[in-house]
Amino acid sequence: MADTHEAIEELLAGYVLRSLSGEDAARADHLLTDHVPHCPACRDSLAMFQGVTADLALEATPLRPPDTLLPRLHRDLGAQDRRRRPAAVLAVAASVVAVVGFAGLAVTQSMRVSDARSRIDNIRSAFDFARRPGASMVQVDSSTSDTEPITEISRPGTERFYLVGSDVPLPPEGTVYRVWLVSGTRATWATDFVPEPGMMIVTLEFDPSRYDRIVISVEPEGSTPDAPRLAVWQTAS
Amino acid sequence: MSGAALPRNRPRRVIQLTAMMNGDVDDLELHRRLSAGDRDAFDQLYRRYAPTAFGMAYRLTGQQMLAQDVVHDAFMALWRAPEAFDPARGAFRTFFLSLVHHRAVDTVRREERLRKRSERAANLEPLTDEDPAEDVVDEAFLGIRRRELRQALATLPDPQRQVLEMAYFQAYTQAQIAEELDIPIGTVKTRTLAAMRKLRRALYRED
């Protein structure tokens, strides 16, 4: 039976509160993919409910964060500054090939030396990470036969892991790849990225062992990271 | 089609935009600068939203360290992928506070042992000897919005406010709320929708 708008609004209200589970969560995902994008009334309802839900945060008493938090962020921003692109997507100089032992890397003419250096640093970090005791590599399988798998490099209990790929195809125009960490029916958005030619390394500050699986989906660029739509790669559960 | 179809051609988008406050406009500029790598803009957004984000995350998780991690991760996610916010889809505070809430909910659910702490969230002990709220001066527009929200919440019948509180601040699913309150899940859905609609009318001045 088709959902009425009343029923759809019920689902959307629960969805924005992140309080759906089971079949309701699946129905909401379905609606958000198939109906809401094409229905102005539902799009506006969703936007309104999202606004209301965000405002609910104001019901909590504002608290002064610990004095250590901003310095911690500044320190971590410093580490990120050298790779301003969202997901540290890498393509590095051919000279680096010998250093890291990978082929198929390139430097675009527009790439600044500082960008190339930061990418080299990132690759070194990934390989140093992979050599440490307990590190493991897990294949993130592609859902299509013509796309190569991506490799996840992680260590249990470490709030960092890497996604490594080679010649990852660009997502369709106007879209990005979005990384999700999934537990049960809940998906936590990690980051967005658009790969560049050659080797790609995405660094994520999460411990993947806390989640059941990793999903990489294709999403409209700039869209709100609510839930994965079209999965392109994912690890086995 | 049965059920209440939404009226067509209702100027909701216009209503939403007119509800945008000066602070929201300032946010857009700060976000634009942050997207260009401006650390000062990052700091300004931090000063503006960290107290609200931390207060909300603390109320959900019940633990200072976890709340700190939630807020840290949200700001880092903003720095890493500022393009995830699309101004065409709503205010920055909607995007960012939703991001913080999602991460806080995920944290609570991931660590079920926190459930009891979050149940006590309404009666949390102050973090220090002083009332931490005394240290926080809201940005003016957030203070206005906070008052509007609290006035709107006060108009809700208790059963509706209760399901919102359990869903938003205790990270309960609707199924868990139904079980906890021993009521049908359909009732939870009805109360949730009624509450959200009332808040929507109150906060967005819908007629």
Chain A residue with the nearest C-alpha to that of B11: A44
Q: Scanning every residue of chain B, which has its alpha carbon at the shortest distance from the alpha carbon of A66?
A: B68
Cβ–Cβ below 8 Å for A6 and B4: yes
Q: Any CB–CB contact under 8 A between B200 and chain A?
A: yes
Q: What is the pLDDT of residues B45-98, one digit of tens each?
A: 999 999 999 999 999 988 899 999 999 999 999 998 888 888 877 889 999 999
User: Is A38 exposed, middle or buried, given 0-12, 13-18 or 19+ CB atoms closer than 10 A?
Assistant: exposed
Sort out which chain A residues have CB atoms less than 8 A from B168's CB and list them: 17, 53, 56
Which residues on neighbouring strands pair with residue A137, listed in sequence order?
A153
The CATH number of domain B12-132, selected from 1.10.3720.10, 1.10.730.10, 1.10.1740.10, 3.90.480.20: 1.10.1740.10
Q: Smallest Cβ distance to A72: which of B72, B95, B193? A: B72
- For chain B, the domains span 12-132, 155-207
Q: Is A48 in contact with B204 (Cβ distance < 8 A)?
A: yes
What is the pLDDT averaged over residues B124-131? 48
**In whole angstroms, what is the distance from residue B162 CA to residue B187 CA?**
12
Between the CA atoms of A147, A189, A33 and B185, what dihedral angle is there, to the nearest 10 degrees?
Answer: 140
Its pTM stands at: 0.59
Contact residues, chain A, for B16 at CB < 8 Å: 44, 47-48, 51
Size of interface A-B (CB pairs under 8 A): 243
User: Quick check: B106 contacting A, CB < 8 Å?
Assistant: yes
Does residue A110 carry a pLDDT above 50? no
**CATH number, domain B155-207:** 1.10.10.10
Interface confidence: ipTM more than 0.90 = no
- Report CA-CA distances (Å) from A88 to A131, A224, B167, B200, B201: 20, 20, 35, 39, 42
Residues of chain A contacting residue B161, judged by C-beta atoms under 8 Å apart? none
Which pLDDT value is given to residue B76?
92
* Closest chain B residue to the Cα of A176, Cα to Cα: B84
Closest to B193 (Cβ–Cβ): which among A13, A189, A205? A13
On the question of pLDDT at A16 being above 90, the answer is yes
pLDDT tens readout for residues A48-61: 899 899 999 999 98
Query: Who among A7, A19, A192 is closest to B173 (CB)?
Result: A19
Q: How far apart are CA B122 and CA A154, in angstroms?
A: 38
Type of residue numbered A177: Y
- Closest residue to B189, CB basis, from A14, A68, A223: A14
Asked whether residue A229 carries a pLDDT value surpassing 50, the answer given is yes
